[in-house]
Amino acid sequence: MPDDQGQRLPRLTARGAATRARILAAADELILVHGVNRTRLDDVRAATGVSKSQLYHHFPDKEALVAAVIARRAERILEREEALLGRVDSMRGLQRWRDAAVNRVELRRGAHGCALGSLLSELADQDESAVASLTEHFRTWEMHMKGALDRMQANGALRPDADTERLATGLMAALQGGYLLSQAAHDASPMSASLNMALEHIDTYARKAA
């Protein structure tokens, strides 16, 4: 199977795969709570009960473990966003996507912010490989937004002069800003305000029914 950098790895036994998954889940949780810099490999070993040799068998260094955490988070987030945005072809659909985003933040009172954004912020000046991976995942996320806007434009819900790429970038910026401010406030209100303003701007390009 490929590793998180696309290289081929030996096939794992069921037990080995379970051990790897357990290590990865624990590392993801520790990094979510404490951040990358404050999470040590010894902390991961203590949380999982694995030996040092087991840990290094699956993840030869911390960079490899962080890369796997990034891939794990990205897979979950992008699957969710593809499912939500893949059905959007109207302003009402975009509003439902907004409501889902605000509700997720509201459920945890802004805690931890964006699971990918927090990693990008922490690793920006430390790990070029991780930043490149995160940047690509954000690009994919933004393309899901653009895809929704493109469908709206194709079916006449948005005017032909709407720059869907620019609007998608603005929508992503509003989402990430909302995550950050809601984390600081421990409240979903900044996310709601940020996305409302973004959707209001997109709505200025909407074709209104006669």
> CA-CA distance, 167 to 192, in Å (whole number)?
18
Contacts 24+ apart (CB under 8 A), 141-146: 141/77, 141/78, 141/81, 141/116, 141/172, 142/168, 142/169, 142/172, 143/168, 144/78, 144/81, 144/82, 144/85, 144/86, 145/85, 145/171, 145/172
pLDDT, tens only, 128-164:
999 999 999 999 999 999 999 999 999 999 999 999 9
pLDDT, tens only, 61-91:
999 999 999 999 999 999 999 999 999 999 9
Q: 97-107 in b/e burial notation, b at 16+ Cβ within 10 A? A: bbeebbeebee
Token pair listed for 145: 């937004």
DSSP per-residue codes, the chain = -B-TTS-B-PPPPHHHHHHHHHHHHHHHHHHHHH-STT--HHHHHHHHT--HHHHHHH-SSHHHHHHHHHHHHHHHHHHHHHHHHTT--SHHHHHHHHHHHHHHHHHTTTTT--TTHHHHHHHTTT-HHHHHHHHHHHHHHHHHHHHHHHHHHHTTSB-TT--HHHHHHHHHHHHHHHHHHHHHHTSSHHHHHHHHHHHHHHHTTBPPP-
pLDDT, tens only, 175-203:
999 999 999 999 999 999 999 999 999 99
Residue 46 has, within 13 A of its CA and on its CB side, a CA count of: 6
pLDDT at 40 over 50: yes
Cα torsion 101, 193, 120, 36: sign: negative
14-203: CATH, from 1.10.10.10, 1.20.1250.20, 3.40.710.10, 1.10.357.10: 1.10.357.10
Token pair listed for 61: 């260094």
Domain edges within the chain: 14-203
Give residue 210's pLDDT.
Answer: 38
pLDDT at 6 over 60: no
Token pair listed for 177: 């800003």
Query: What's the mean pLDDT when you consider all of the chain?
Result: 93
Dmax (CA) for the chain in angstroms is: 69
Give residue 11's pLDDT.
Answer: 73
